[in-house]
A and B are shown apart, each in its own frame.
Chain A
Amino acid sequence: MSYDWNWRFLLDTVAAGEGSYLDWLLAGLGWTVALSLAAWALALALGLAVGTARTLEARWLRAPAAAWVELFRNVPLLVQFFLWFFVVPELLPRDLGLWVKQDMPAKEFVTAVLCLGFFTSARVAEQLRSGIGSLPPGQRLAALALGMRLAQAYRHVILPRALRVVLPPLTSEFMNVIKNSSVAYAIGVMELTFQARQMQEETARGLETYLAVTTLYFLCAFAANRAMAAIEARSRIPGYLG
């Protein structure tokens, strides 16, 4: 293929005159990391609660948890972004809706964190539920027989074990959050993909731009992978899992 590679444009001053294209990439990287971490924290907190609720006997907790999972698992992520961004504000009272649409601070970012966090929480919940399901039922019974209340059994026996079981799939999920955060460009969050589109328009250097962005996504996802692997190694209980 004929292509005249040129990487020096990264150091050129942007058309509007402040900073270089490299600065844009780094700013985009900052938003990608901030969005991914915030969404991941939200997803973990909600996912742990919902996933645990799905394994309880109390129907009034189990049913809404199941509904939560199915709602967020069965709708494409891009559509969810549009629903939160365009549709939900229309359902609010008029003044509040207008505030959300025009004056809410960091409105695109907040919307994106909620959307990506909810979406991922459904997946985390499912993984935790299957992790809890994979434990021998005797563990729970033994904990209760020792005189623990149900909450104590979950706190001291079931969850610590189940979480170790689901660490590998959670690693994938963490990496997915980073990659899925790219969809947030669609509602105007100025993350990596957004900056890439703008850069390639201004510089007409599409291939270099997307290669640079690909590398940055890869490094982020890989860093998440290594961090989770370190947690996995440190939390391992000898003799339980291979």
Chain B
Amino acid sequence: MTAKLVLLCCAAALAAAPVAADTLAKVKEAGAITLGIRESSYPLSYLDEKQQPVGYHVEVCQRVVEAVRRQLGQPGLKVQFQPVTSQNRIPLVTNGTVDLECGSTTNNEARLKQVAFAPTTYVTYVRMAVKRASGITGLAQLHGKPVATTTGTTSVQLMRAHEKAKGVDFKEVYGKDHADSFLMLETDRAVAFVMDDNLLLGLIMTSKNPADYQVVGETLSVEPIALMLRRDDPAFKALVDDTVKGLMKSGELEKLYARWFMAPIPPRGANMNYPMGEHLRQLLKAPNDLPAEAYNKR
């Protein structure tokens, strides 16, 4: 009886032990690697008209997969896609469901306590989308006006911090996802929508009348976006880092950027026409995986 109990406790303790952070061994054993993807993070990671994951970060991830295949000597390694949301992406990476997240995740200090990030491959500027006809060009014009943002995003805290610092008073309204927040702008519930520039451009691109909207105003925050992986897994991290840095060095990443930001893309063949920002240009020359806090010293 006691022996049984001890065994049971051991089993429980084992079950609760951390997933061994050796992604390469896990992938090798499973014969498959699982990539976390987003459904509508234009143009980094989203579903095309055939519901297939595509985007700038999905392509970067596919280069990593090729490197994993070479290193493990498993050319037939299977790739599985797991859709993730901003709520579940970190738990799914830490619990081993997702091996590499190819979405639009900001690298910041709070997250670094639980996960690791590849070198930054996109830098987003938090700005605002407005109706062209509104004549709004800066945050100061939003005093006392309703401003939309999406629940559970970093933009919420940025807006609150900006209000405090500048003494302006937005009337914040919150959409449950980016599509709802954009609907608020569309239906005049809000006069501006504050969010990552690439997401705003994607929403404008897929809206009914793209010409009615524009992205304007000062930058509230500069945020490094990167592929996300498990913490404390030096072998896999090195492989991902080397692959990404290799893409930067060879100029391939710049080509990928041009393909997704400066050319017609699925689902409707629209062109975001968004040239590379200064931060990312510098990063291509000297890659790093520093968190957002390093970009926004207050």
Contacts A2-B94, A198-B152, A206-B90 aside, 10 further interface pairs with beta carbons under 8 A come to A1-B95, A2-B16, A3-B91, A15-B157, A86-B187, A90-B187, A98-B188, A194-B174, A197-B87, A207-B91
B161 touches A15 (CB 8 A): yes
A186 touches B157 (CB 8 A): no
7 smallest CB-CB distances across A and B, nearest first, come from: A2-B18, A197-B152, A188-B174, A16-B160, A15-B157, A201-B152, A186-B176
**Known interface pairs A186-B176, A198-B152. Does A101 touch B110 (Cβ–Cβ under 8 Å)?**
no
18 contacts between A and B (CB under 8 A): A2-B16, A2-B19, A3-B91, A3-B94, A17-B164, A86-B183, A89-B189, A98-B188, A101-B189, A186-B180, A188-B175, A197-B87, A201-B154, A201-B156, A202-B110, A203-B110, A204-B110, A204-B111
Interface string of B149-182 (1 = CB under 8 A from A): 0011110110011001000000101111000100
> Measured between alpha carbons, how far is A117 from B116 in the docked complex, in Å?
46
> Measured between alpha carbons, how far is A158 from B101 in the docked complex, in Å?
63
Q: Tell me the chain B residues, 102-131 only, with Cβ under 8 Å from chain A.
A: 110-111, 113-114
In this assembly, does B17 line the interface, its C-beta being within 8 Å of a C-beta of chain A?
A: yes
> Measured between alpha carbons, how far is A90 from B187 in the docked complex, in Å?
8
Q: Which residues of A contact B53 (CB under 8 A)?
A: none
> Measured between alpha carbons, how far is A202 from B151 in the docked complex, in Å?
11
> Measured between alpha carbons, how far is A188 from B111 in the docked complex, in Å?
25
Interface string of A175-198 (1 = CB under 8 A from B): 000000000011110100010011
In this assembly, does B86 line the interface, its C-beta being within 8 Å of a C-beta of chain A?
A: yes
Question: Nearest A residue to B153 by beta-carbon distance?
Answer: A201
List B residues at the A interface (Cβ < 8 Å). 15-19, 86-88, 90-91, 94-96, 110-111, 113-114, 145-146, 151-154, 156-157, 160-161, 164, 171, 173-176, 180, 183, 187-189
> Measured between alpha carbons, how far is A197 from B152 in the docked complex, in Å?
5
B184 to chain A, nearest CB (A): 8
A204 touches B87 (CB 8 A): no
B151 touches A194 (CB 8 A): yes
> Measured between alpha carbons, how far is A18 from B153 in the docked complex, in Å?
18
In this assembly, does A102 line the interface, its C-beta being within 8 Å of a C-beta of chain B?
A: yes
Residue among A90, A98, A202, A206 making CB contact with B91, cutoff 8 Å? A206
> Measured between alpha carbons, how far is A186 from B146 in the docked complex, in Å?
17
Q: Tell me the chain A residues, 193-231 only, with Cβ under 8 Å from chain B.
A: 194, 197-198, 200-204, 206-207
